[in-house]
Structure 1
């Protein structure tokens, strides 16, 4: 089964409201083996709604709409779609009773404007909305199938998951759409593509998508319209193949977080961690403390933005700063050593860099980041140059620091 999605709302096109509904609908349908083939966004205008829904029905015969079911004059969806089916709107007293009951539970009375929400296309099935005042609608006839859902995300999600999906799954063929993700970091998309390209044909019938972000590139494999057992088998084999090609750059799957994996590797060794941050200003500590249970490994650290604090808090020698500058591998290592010593931890990270937009030189351009690590009896340093704005550079620096620490703690003898 295939669907198209038509999201209705001028505010979506103006950018005042972010459409979170589309992603949720796509994921929910895919989990049930239903493919969403196209998304269209239209304003609150009758002609635009009519055109989008009728064209989508002509292509797939099945459409989900969101928005336009409220009590105001710009909520036109119901009347327009009913017109495509040739069905008049009829007042439904049962729907009106539900609306009134909901308002009274909130200690209020419905306004006269809410009465229009009880008008229902003559041949439609009402999808009772326990979470709001706008019921969903299921219209099925000669033009095809149209499922109309409110635009409020909480109401839409509950109706979709608890009311719509059971009806759709009753029609399901037993075939699924499933995906798995191999997470990589520390390797550019172009380099990753060159490694993977020679085997892409071997991955068929799976499809492969590259999803770059500031923290790395996710490789998403998708099985389309296959029996569940076959999809799972092909996805597991394909993911193993990709991990073999990407080596140490592959760190997880799904929504795995590198900070959590790093803490797990440290925990397995009985090591505690401290950090010393300059240009990242606490972002590394924030990533670590965002992980539940991190306190048994991560003790804390120092944000030593100024050189005076690098010396006072971490014991970085003044002559080292004078000789190499604050942004240097020598200072980064001294920061890590100082954190490990001052805080009494077996592992430590020191980060210093130039996040921009100013402060760069020919020798040390904006984006230069130096990192030092302590991991048991191992010490390591690296200098890299990241592209992007100030936030991107800092986020990439944190991910880079976590990745190397994960490797060191995972591989230490």
Structure 2
């Protein structure tokens, strides 16, 4: 089944709202075997909606829209799409009664007059119940089998209706045992996209008929394998085999799959080793601690941390010698090492992580440009450090520095003494 998505709203076109609905729909429907061939965003006016949906119906005959089902004057989705099918609008008394009951129960007063238009629906449509909000969804289909599903634009409501109604209904329309579209993502850290391609060699263009996409981001480069035309069992086997082949080339850079978070992985590893962690952060300003403590159950492993932004704090709270800072500079290997060891001793943890760097936009020099970061890992007195020059703006540099620290902890656990730029205390 080929399908198009039309997301509706001026706020999407203006960039004030990020279109998460289309991404959620694409992921969920691909798992069923529905191929999303085009995604379109249009404004709230009736003509834009009519044109976008009409064009999409002409190409695929199957469209899902989100947005424009609310109570305000700019919610034009239902009448605009009804007109495409030559349908008028009618008042659904069942919806109106439910809306009135909902308002009295939840808000303690009568339904506002403006909300009554949510009970207006296209003639001949199927109502899709919305347990997550006030606007019901609409399914409109013609004699030629062309159909449009209209869903609310509020992401929470859209996701709920997708799971409750849309996915089960579409699943019933698809042939049993038909092809599915599924992906598997291998997550890498601290290796460039071009370097990954070089290491993958012939696999860089695809693996056993599966497409391979490179998705660079602040966490690293994700490698996404996708199978398009196999049944569920063959797809699982193909993805397993392809992932194993990719890992055989770049496994030392792979830290997880799909939505795996490196902070969560490292905390799980620490827990398995009965290890505890403390962090000393300068340029990241607490970002590493935030990532670690965002993981449920982190209190069993993370003891605490210090934001040692000023040099005086590095000396007073972490025991970094002031003379060392004066001689080497705050952004240096010796200072990063002293921070990692100092925080480990201060909190009594088995692991200390230290980060110092220049996040910018100012403060760089020819010897230490903006993005220069030193990260140190102290594993119960065994100290390792690495220097990197990270790309991006201030936020991206800080995030990448925290990710670098987590990845270097992973490397330390693996005892990769020969990692590029990795120095150990003999």
- TM-score exceeds 0.5: yes
Matches within 5 A, 1:225-374: 225-374=229-378
Q: Find the counterpart in structure 2 of residue 391 from structure 1.
A: 395
- Residue 203 of structure 2, aligned match among 199, 202, 211: 199
* Alignment partner of 1:147 is 2:149: yes
Q: Distance in 2 between matches of 1:201 and 1:43?
A: 38
Separation in structure 1 between the aligned mates of residue 285 and residue 68 of structure 2, nearest angstrom: 45
- Following the alignment from structure 1 to structure 2, what is the Cα–Cα distance between the partners of residues 273 and 410? 17
SS at match of 2:140: strand
Aligned to 1:118: 119
Q: Secondary structure at the match of 2:73?
A: coil
The unaligned stretches of length 5 or more in structure 1 are none
The alpha-carbon distance between structure 1 residues 344 and 75, as it changes in their structure 2 partners (threshold 3 A), is closer
Q: Hey, which bits of structure 1, 4+ residues long, moved more than 4 A?
A: none
Q: In the TM superposition, what whole-angstrom CA distance separates every residue of 1:140-164 from its partner, at most 9, and x where no partner exists?
A: 1137111111222222222221122
CA contact (8 A) 1:277 1:305 kept: yes
- Distance in 2, matches of 1:219 and 1:13, equals 30
Structure 2 CA distance, aligned partners of 1:272 and 1:115?
Answer: 58
> In the comparison of the two structures, how many residue pairs are matched?
413
Distance 1:277 1:152 in 2: 38
**Cα pair distance change 1:343/1:233, threshold 3 Å:** same
Where 1:87 maps in the other structure, the secondary structure is: coil
Residue 406 of structure 1 corresponds to 410
Matched with 1:379 is 383
TM-score with structure 1 setting the length: 0.94
1:14-70 deviations in Å (ceiling 9; x for gaps):
223322211111112112221211111111222211111111011111001112222
Show the 5 A alignment for 1:61-210: 61-106=61-106, 107-141=108-142, 142=144, 144-173=146-175, 174=177, 175-201=179-205, 203-210=207-214
Q: Could you say which residue in structure 2 is the equivalent of 1:58?
A: 58
Query: What SS class does the counterpart of residue 70 from structure 2 fall into?
Result: coil
**Structure 2 residue runs without a partner (length 5+):** 418-426
For structure 1, which segment, 292-301 or 356-365, has the greater mean C-alpha deviation from structure 2 after superposition? 292-301
What is the Cα deviation at residue 138 of structure 1? Answer: 0.8
Q: Deviations over 1:101-150 (max 9, x none)?
A: 22222222223333332222222111122333322111111371111112
The Cα of 1:204 is off from its aligned counterpart by 3.7
CA distance in 1, matches of 2:72, 2:195: 53
Q: Which residue of 1 aligns with 2:35?
A: 35
Taking the aligned partners of 2:66 and 2:407, their CA distance within structure 1 comes to 41
Contact 1:57–1:143 (8 Å) recurs in 2: no
| Whole-Å separation in 2 of the counterparts to 1:23 and 1:403 | 28
Cα distance in 2, alignment partners of residues 223 and 378 from structure 1 = 44
Q: Report the CA distance between 1:80 and its aligned residue.
A: 1.7
Cα distance between partner residues in 2 of 1:349 and 1:94? 61
Q: Using the alignment, how far apart are the partners of 1:315 and 1:243 within structure 2?
A: 42
RMSD: 1.9
